[in-house]
C-alpha cells in the first residue's frame, strides 16, 4: 500500500513535468505559420508505416540501420510492459495484463528477446561512438554536449534492458509454477541467479527499471532523443509530393502569369480588394510554417543529410544538419523569451544572420539529397529556400549572378540576355 502511494506520487510528478515541457514544445511549434498537411490520410498512413514504423530509409546503411531498427522495435514492444508496470505500481497489482493470455505470452516473449537485442545493439553503438572515428558524427555544429547526450541515452538504455531481464528472472523465481507470460531468455539465465535473494532482486530491478523510464522520459525534451516522440507525427505530416517540386508563392505566381500574358484579366485584382501587406520568405523561425518547426524538433543529429550534401562534400560552408539544429536552437530561444517576457518580445535577433549565414544559404544546389537521405523525412531544403526568398524579395540581397538573371527574366521573359523577339533568329542562319 505504502509502495503504491509512493509510486503514484513519483509517477504523477514525472508525468506532470513531462507534460509541461511537452506543452512548451507544442506551443513553440504553433508559433509557425499555417500549412495544410492534413490531406491524403491513406497515403500518409502508408508512408508512416513504411518510414517510421518500418524504418525503411535506415536500411540504406544496412549495419547501423538494422541495429537502430532493433532498438526502435524493441522499445515499441517493451513499452507495453512499461505501461503494465505503471498500472501495477499505482493499483498494487502484479502482472495485471497477464489476463490477456496468449497475447500476453507473445508480448512478454518478444520483450524478453528484444531486451537482449537492444542491449547488444546499444553496446555496439557505444563502441562506435567512443572508439571509431565516424565522419558523420563530426562537424562544426556538433558540440561536445551532442556526444555526451548520445552516450548518456545509451547508458540509460543498457541499464533499462539489464533491469528488465533481472526483473523477469526475479519474477520467475518468485512464482516458479504459476507465473504469467513467457520469458525464453530469462528462463535461460535463471539458473545463474537461483541462489540469489530473488525477492530483493525483483524489487530492486522493478524500481530501477521504472525510475529509469521516468528519468529517460524527462530527459527527452532536452535532448536529440526527443525524436522518439516526434518521429511519428513528423513522418505523417511530411512532404508527400515529388521531391523536386518547389512550392510557389501564389501572389508571385499571379504576378508572373500577368507578366507573361498581360492581356488576360484572369489574374486581375478586383477593384474592391484592399491590397494587403505581404512579406516574402522567412527571416526568423516565426516566419516558417509549423511543419518546418516540427522538423527542427524531430532532427536526430544523425548527419545522414550532411554526409550526402554535395555542397558539404566539396568543402562549402553548408551543412543541412546545422540548418535543422540552428532552427531548433533559435526556436528554443524564442520560446524562452516568451516564458520570460511574454509574447511579442523582440530580442533583435533572427535565424537569418544570427544563426545561419548567407554564405551557407547560397552554397545550396537545391538537389534534395538531404531530404532524400533523412530517415525521418525532414526537409532542410524548404527552410533554405524560405530564407533565400527573404534575402531576394525583402532585402534584394541576391548574389550578382542571380540579379543579372532576374533582370533578364523581367525584361526578356527568359534567363538569357537576348530579347524574346530575337529567339527565332537562329533559324535564319
**Contacts with 41 (C-beta within 8 Å, 6 or more apart), sequence order:** none
Give the residue carrying C-alpha cell 523465481: 173
Contact between 295 and 378 (Cβ < 8 Å): yes
Q: Please, what is the minimum distance in Å from the beta carbon of residue 171 to ligand SF4?
A: 38
Tell which residue, 117, 206, 203, 130, has the closest CA to residue 158. 117
Answer for the pair 220, 359: CB distance below 8 angstroms, yes or no. Answer: no
Nearest C-alpha neighbor of 159 from the set 212, 120, 82: 212
In the bound state with ligand SF4, the residue whose beta carbon lies nearer, of 165 and 373, is 373
> Do 36 and 111 contact (CB within 8 A), yes or no?
no
DSSP E strand boundaries for 245-285: none
Of the pair 112, 308, the CB lying nearest ligand SF4 is at 308
* Best CA proximity match to 174, nearest among 199, 196, 204: 199
Shortest distance (Å) from residue 315 CB to ligand SF4: 13
Contact present, 79 and 164 (Cβ < 8 Å): no
Query: 33: which strand partners?
Result: 289
Dist. CA 385–CA 363, nearest whole Å: 12
Dist CA 164 CA 220 (whole Å):
20
Please say which residue, 366 or 407, places its beta carbon nearer to ligand SF4.
366
- Which DSSP category does 137 fall into? G
Nearest approach, Cβ of 372 to ligand SF4 (angstroms)? 8
CB of 355 to ligand SF4, least distance (A): 15
Nearer to ligand SF4, 28 or 298 (CB): 298
In the bound state with ligand SF4, the residue whose beta carbon lies nearer, of 74 and 303, is: 303
Nearer to ligand SF4, 209 or 321 (CB): 321
**What would the DSSP string read from start to end of 144-210?**
HHHHHHHHHHHHHHHHHHHHHHHHHHHHHHHSSSS-SS--HHHHHHGGGGTTS-HHHHHHHHHHHHH
Q: Are 129 and 146 in contact (CB under 8 A)?
A: no
Residue-wise over 326-339: b if at least 16 C-beta within 10 A, else e?
bbbbbbbbbbebbe
- How far apart CA 200 and CA 35 sit, in angstroms, is 54
CA gap 79, 87 in Å, rounded = 13
Of 189 and 367, nearer to ligand SF4 (C-beta) is 367
Interface with ligand SF4 by CB under 6 A: which residues? 299-305, 308-311, 318, 320-321, 324, 364-370, 373-374, 376, 378, 380-381
Q: Which is nearer to ligand SF4, 111 or 380 (CB)?
A: 380
**Of the two residues 160 and 305, which places its CB atom closer to ligand SF4 in the complex?**
305
Q: Burial, 186: exposed, middle or buried (Cβ in 10 Å; 0-12, 13-18, 19+)?
A: buried
The CB-of-377 to ligand SF4 minimum distance in angstroms stands at: 8
How far apart are CB 296 and ligand SF4 at their closest, in Å? 9
CB of 323: closest distance to ligand SF4 in angstroms?
A: 7
C-beta closer to ligand SF4: residue 121 or 319: 319
Amino acid at each position: 500500500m505504502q509502495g503504491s502511494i509512493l509510486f503514484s506520487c513519483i509517477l504523477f510528478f514525472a508525468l506532470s513535468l513531462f507534460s509541461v515541457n511537452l506543452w512548451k514544445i507544442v506551443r513553440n511549434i504553433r508559433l509557425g505559420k499555417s500549412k495544410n498537411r492534413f490531406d491524403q490520410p491513406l497515403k500518409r498512413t502508408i508512408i508512416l508505416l513504411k518510414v517510421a514504423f518500418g524504418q525503411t530509409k535506415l536500411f540504406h546503411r544496412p549495419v547501423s540501420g538494422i541495429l537502430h531498427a532493433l532498438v526502435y522495435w524493441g522499445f515499441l514492444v517493451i513499452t507495453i510492459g512499461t505501461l503494465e508496470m505503471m498500472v501495477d505500481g499505482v493499483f498494487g497489482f502484479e502482472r495485471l495484463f497477464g489476463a490477456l493470455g496468449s497475447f500476453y505470452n507473445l508480448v512478454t516473449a518478444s520483450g524478453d528477446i528484444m531486451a537482449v537485442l537492444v542491449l547488444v545493439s546499444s553496446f555496439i553503438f557505444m563502441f562506435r561512438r567512443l572508439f571509431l572515428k565516424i565522419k558523420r558524427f563530426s562537424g562544426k555544429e556538433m558540440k561536445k554536449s551532442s556526444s555526451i547526450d548520445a552516450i548518456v541515452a545509451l547508458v540509460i538504455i543498457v541499464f533499462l534492458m539489464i533491469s528488465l531481464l533481472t526483473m523477469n528472472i526475479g519474477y520467475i523465481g518468485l512464482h516458479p509454477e504459476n507465473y504469467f507470460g513467457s520469458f525464453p531468455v530469462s528462463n535461460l539465465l535463471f539458473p545463474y541467479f537461483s541462489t540469489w535473494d530473488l525477492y530483493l532482486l525483483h524489487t530492486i530491478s522493478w524500481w530501477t527499471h521504472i525510475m529509469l523510464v521516468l528519468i529517460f522520459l524527462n530527459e527527452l525534451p532536452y535532448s536529440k532523443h526527443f525524436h522518439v516522440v516526434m518521429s511519428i507525427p513528423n513522418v505523417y505530416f511530411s512532404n508527400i509530393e515529388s521531391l523536386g517540386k518547389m512550392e510557389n508563392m501564389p501572389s508571385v505566381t499571379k504576378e508572373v502569369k500577368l507578366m507573361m500574358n498581360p492581356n488576360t484579366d484572369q489574374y486581375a485584382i478586383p477593384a474592391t480588394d484592399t491590397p494587403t501587406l505581404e512579406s516574402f520568405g522567412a527571416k526568423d523561425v516565426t516566419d516558417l510554417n509549423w511543419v518546418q518547426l516540427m522538423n527542427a524538433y524531430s532532427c536526430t543529429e544523425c548527419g545522414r543529410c550532411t554526409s550526402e550534401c554535395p555542397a558539404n562534400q566539396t568543402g562549402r560552408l553548408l551543412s543541412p544538419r546545422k540548418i535543422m539544429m540552428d532552427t531548433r536552437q533559435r526556436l528554443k530561444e524564442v520560446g524562452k523569451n516568451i516564458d520570460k517576457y511574454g509574447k511579442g518580445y523582440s530580442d533583435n535577433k533572427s535565424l537569418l544572420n544570427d544563426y545561419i549565414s548567407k554564405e551557407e544559404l547560397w552554397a545550396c544546389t537545391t538537389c534534395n539529397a538531404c531530404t532524400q537521405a533523412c530517415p525521418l523525412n525532414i526537409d532542410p531544403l524548404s527552410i533554405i529556400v524560405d530564407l533565400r526568398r527573404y534575402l531576394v524579395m525583402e532585402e534584394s540581397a541576391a548574389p550578382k549572378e542571380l540579379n543579372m538573371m532576374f533582370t533578364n527574366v523581367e525584361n526578356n521573359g527568359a534567363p538569357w540576355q537576348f530579347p524574346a523577339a530575337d529567339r527565332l533568329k537562329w533559324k535564319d542562319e
